[in-house]
Amino acid sequence: MNTDLRTLEAVAAKGRLLGLDMVYHCASGHLGGSFSAMDILTVLYFDVMHVDPNNPADPNRDRFVLSKGHCTPALYPILAQRGYFPEEALDLFRSIQGHLSGHAEMQHVKGVDMSTGSLGQGISAAVGMALAGKMDQKDYRVYAVLGDGEVEEGQVWEAFMSAAKYKLDNLCAVIDVNGLQIDGKTADVMPTEPLDQKLQAFGWNVIPVDGHDMEALSAAFAQAKDCKGVPTMLLAKTVKGKGVSFMENQAGWHGKAPNAEQYEQARQELVAALAEKEGK
Ligand SMILES: Cc1ncc(C[n+]2csc(CCOP(=O)(O)OP(=O)(O)O)c2C)c(N)n1
Ligand SMILES: [Mg+2]
């Protein structure tokens, strides 16, 4: 691990608080999947990826694609904390006055490598970036985060096949396995398991990991980097809505803004978590 665990935990805790404020203030957005992915994005941006916020278009940078593009209340707070833009910009999330649209957008937001939101397309773009890296003989790595509901979309399996065919060992994807999608359990809407066996059959190196254990995530990303000749998939077991008691494991919190009372309760819980991580 390059960054100490406490620092990472504080970044993720603050990320959840910033995400909550963003969604509450514009009364719209996706907290459930953002909170399940917050620890994964924290480890990527603060421990794993070689990126420079002062040179966001560096051709040699590692790339990141948020294939589950609705989870900007995770991505934008992480980009802001990493230094791509000021935290105050988050106040204009989903506002016509600002640039931070509800789904990830690469034209105006520094640090976003691909516009996403239409599920299934992000991983395909990530495969293209990794293939381009191979063709250009570049050393950069490409990371992508998908949802477990997203993998119900057929296009992702075409992307998975292509990644194996082209031996894209510079690609490491993560499926945020929170068990829920927009309106229920993935197991009920369209069962996807066993994901490990399916991905292995598609030619991928598969690493199961606890998506909230940042040391384990860091080790899994390092293992992925060492794996040659095939792409790697982290199957990250997570809790949708992680960090807010009444949002955890509730499909109803997929894409709903809290009311004033719910906001206060969520805020109290997240402020307490942040204070604990910051040692206050
Ligand atoms: C192609 C496409 N179909 C449908 C949607 C609507 N949609 C947005 S989020 C979502 C559920 C995604 O579930 P999952 O990938 O598990 O995300 P998470 O649980 O991490 O929020 C759906 C169906 C979409 N954005 N794109
Ligand atoms: Mg899900």
Write the DSSP assignment of 93-156 as a string of letters: TT-TTSS--SS--TTTSTT--S---STTHHHHHHHHHHHHHHHTT----EEEEEETTGGGSTHH
Residue 279 pLDDT level (bands cut at 50, 70, 90): confident
Q: Which atom of ligand 1 is nearest to the CA of 151?
A: 15
**Does the structure show a pLDDT above 70 at 280?**
no
| pLDDT in the model for residue 203 | 98
* Cis peptide, bond prior to residue 194, ω within 30 of zero: yes
DSSP 8-class letter at 67: S
Q: Which atom of ligand 1 is nearest to the CA of 36?
A: 20
Ligand 1: lining residues by beta carbon, under 6 Å: 30, 32-33, 36, 68, 70, 117-120, 147-150, 153, 176, 178, 180-182, 240, 254
| pLDDT in the model for residue 169 | 98
**Does the structure show a pLDDT above 90 at 2?**
no
Residue-wise pLDDT for 210-220, tens only, equals 999 999 999 99
| pLDDT in the model for residue 193 | 97
Residue-wise pLDDT for 39-79, tens only, equals 999 999 999 999 999 999 999 999 999 999 999 999 999 99
Domains of the chain and any CATH numbers: 5-277 (3.40.50.970)
- Here the tokens at position 267 are 């805020």
77 CA to centre of ligand 2 in angstroms: 20
One-letter identity of residue 150? E
Residue-wise pLDDT for 241-259, tens only, equals 999 999 999 999 999 999 9
Out of 31, 41, 150, 155, mutate this one to test ligand 1's pocket (max ligand atoms within 8 Å of CB): namely 150
**Mean pLDDT confidence for 145-157:** 98
